[in-house]
Amino acid sequence: MDIRARIQRFFTPPTHLSNEQQRYFVLLTVACSTAFLAHALYLLLFYWMGLDVLIIQSIIALFVWAFAMWLGRNGHSQVSIAIAGIEFAIYAALGTYLIGWNSGVHYILFGAAVGILVSYKQTQLKAFWAGILSIEYILLYFTAEKIVWPGNLAVLHGFWLANVITAFGITFLLFWYQANLVINAEQAMNKAIAQSEALLNNVLPSVIANRLKQTEVIIADSFPDVSILFADIVNFTPLSQSMTATEVVELLDDLFSRIDVLVHKHKLEKIKTIGDAYMVAAGVPVRRSDHAEAIIAFAIDLQSALIAYNHETGRSLQFRIGINSGPVVAGVIGKLRFLYDLWGDSVNTASRMESHGIPNEIQVTEETRNLLIGKYTFEDRGIIDVKGKGQMRTYLLCT
């Protein structure tokens, strides 16, 4: 593995961590690594300047930052942040008192404050650390000498510049990292919203989904003119008993997916599937005057699609198709799982047209047939006894 890959792996959080843990993993790894390298460089500088106390402090700091990094990478982010804050405060105090205010070491407190404000979520902890660092800054300002180290002023000025770059560089990186987090969070939120809306539109008609998103509490509408179709696979129950569970689901998924395409083509509304039955309506949730023509055209295409399916798969499935037209009530039920459904005698009658139908035939009620006179030809099936309805005259579409 090359060096670049090792570095990338070092800063990449494990996938099993939560999003919050991954954020702290990256933040603390970057911060602790930067602080570790900075103290290693300062150690050499303090050795050259002959500052024994700061040499010892820097050696200890190397172990402290390595330990803080280990804590942060292993889920103990809050402890790691606290250790980082303490180390920054100690370094700022020692450096300012032993070198002088003009060394610029106190600027590191700004980086520490920003890091803590960015890292901690608890307001109380943010306020506590803001108070501690502010008090330290004020004490240093009023008690520290401007220049303590007796060496070359040019070196002192260079050290001041290095501290300014380090402190404000850390501040900039933290703000940049936080800004990226906000941008990424917004992108993730927008993506999640888009996915939620896509799922909602898959479950509900888009018109209804939009009304639901506008916090409409109860969605219920009356439609005076709607056509409803039920299609059921003939003898599917005994057929499914000779198939595995996977085969049953694959068959229904393939067939019903083809029907979904036809629903979209004819601009109808799929209401639901009930076992091996498929329910579709025309005229809801958007009213249309040609609902009967649309549903009968769909039924004809449905028969053709089944013929194509049988030809492709070698099966010999048959549909019973029943259609009725009339008034319905439509609405959304459920809180955890939404369902857009239709109710009324027109729905029950359409279901009876299917259950009392003939395989490979499209059976319609007199109400639907009257809407299609002059547009389609029907064969009078005569009077049949319909469960729950009694005697009814029904018609078969001539194709």
Q: Which residues are catalytic?
A: 352, 387
Tokens representing 178? 């936080």
Spell out a b/e string for 112-134, using b for 16 or more CB atoms within 10 Å of the CB, else e.
bbbbbebbbeeeebbeebeebbe
Residue 305 has a CB neighbour count (10 Å cut-off) of: 17
Tokens representing 329? 């009530």
Tokens representing 87? 């180390």
For residues 66 and 360, give the distance between their C-alpha atoms in angstroms, rounded to a whole number. 77
- The residues near 64 (Cβ < 8 Å, ≥ 6 apart) are 83, 87
Which spans in the chain are helix H? Answer: 3-11, 19-49, 52-73, 77-99, 108-119, 123-143, 153-203, 206-213, 236-241, 245-265, 291-313, 345-355, 366-371
For residues 207 and 214, give the distance between their C-alpha atoms in angstroms, rounded to a whole number. 11
Cα torsion at 360, 366, 367, 372 (round to 10°)?
Answer: 70
For residues 31 and 306, give the distance between their C-alpha atoms in angstroms, rounded to a whole number. 64
Handedness of CA 145, 151, 153, 157 (dihedral sign): negative
